[in-house]
């Protein structure tokens, strides 16, 4: 499935309803020249950069890529399509494939050895609607929050496209160590991955890699 094409088609159908669901952080200026207009490259383009198939690398975003495609195939009007509209400011937090593998194990107590097996296991365990809600919980619409802003935002609360919130917890400014505290009190919270910060920098849609999947409720 061509995720980028599907996202764009769904975004055109859905419009930009997420614009009103702003987070608690103030949008940060986009990096670059002070008088430069931010770009409109979408995060869909970033996710599709290495193709739209599963592979054997557990530290990219193939499962996330395909999870979005799975949701849109079942629900073409899903608000996750906003990721294809590069004119809509938002910040996304991207769990890598290993993060989803760990989530699948936590939910099913079975260790999946392929990326496709992980996604199938998750969809079977919780259903497409729950997968959609988890994906939306990783999107903070209305603000372009770069890593420098995150480091100045200890205890800030973000409101997500899912409607829930999570908190920014600055563990170390010196080492740029940031934790995101979600709604599941029984499991580890994800950290921002320092080598995967400010993805799509210079555009109004920006993303940061995270080490675990954010949980909108106690799973």
Residue 117's CB: how many other CB atoms inside 10 A?
A: 15
CB 185 within 8 A of CB 218: yes
Which helix or strand (DSSP H or E) is residue 178 part of? strand 177-181
CATH topology of domain 3-29+38-149+191-210: FAS1 domain (2.30.180)
Task: Work out whether strand 205-210 and strand 90-95 pair parallel, antiparallel, or are unpaired.
Answer: parallel
The 10s digit of each residue's pLDDT in 55-73 is 999 999 999 999 999 999 9
d(CA 107, CA 87) in angstroms, rounded, equals 36
Query: What mean pLDDT do residues 166-183 have?
Result: 95
Confidence of residue 35 (pLDDT cuts 50, 70, 90): low
**Confidence class for position 42, pLDDT limits 50, 70, 90:** very high
C-alpha count within 13 angstroms, C-beta hemisphere, residue 8 = 8
SS3 for 67-130, per residue? HHHHHHHHCCCCHHHHHHCCCCCEEEEEECHHHHHHHHHHHHCCCCCCHHHHHHHHHHHHCHHH
**Mean pLDDT of all residues belonging to the chain:** 86
Mean pLDDT of the region 88-93: 97
Entry pTM: 0.85
- Return the residue matching tokens 């899903």: 78
CB 205 within 8 A of CB 41: yes
Per DSSP, the three-state class of 1 is coil
Is the predicted pLDDT of residue 5 greater than 80, yes or no?
A: no
Which of 15-19, 46-50, 81-85 is predicted least confidently? 15-19
Domain ranges of the chain: 3-29+38-149+191-210
């Amino acid at each position: 499935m061509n995720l980028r094409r599907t996202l764009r088609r769904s975004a055109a159908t859905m419009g930009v309803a997420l614009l009103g669901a702003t987070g608690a952080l103030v949008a940060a200026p986009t990096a670059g020249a002070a008088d430069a207009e931010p770009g409109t490259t979408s995060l869909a383009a970033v996710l599709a950069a290495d193709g739209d198939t599963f592979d054997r690398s557990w530290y990219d975003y193939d499962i996330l890529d395909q999870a979005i495609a799975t949701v849109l195939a079942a629900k073409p009007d899903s608000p996750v399509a906003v990721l294809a509209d590069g004119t809509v400011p938002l910040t996304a937090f991207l769990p890598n494939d290993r993060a989803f593998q760990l989530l699948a194990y936590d939910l099913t107590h079975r260790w999946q050895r392929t990326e496709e097996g992980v996604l199938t296991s998750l969809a079977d365990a919780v259903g497409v609607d729950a997968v959609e809600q988890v994906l939306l919980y990783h999107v903070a619409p209305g603000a372009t929050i770069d890593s420098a802003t995150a480091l100045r935002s200890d205890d800030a609360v973000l409101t997500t496209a899912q409607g829930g919130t999570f908190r920014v917890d600055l563990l170390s400014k010196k080492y740029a160590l940031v934790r995101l505290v979600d709604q599941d009190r029984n499991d580890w919270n994800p950290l921002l991955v320092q080598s995967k910060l400010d993805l799509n920098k210079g555009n109004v849609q920006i993303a940061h890699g995270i080490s675990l999947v954010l949980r909108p409720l106690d799973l």
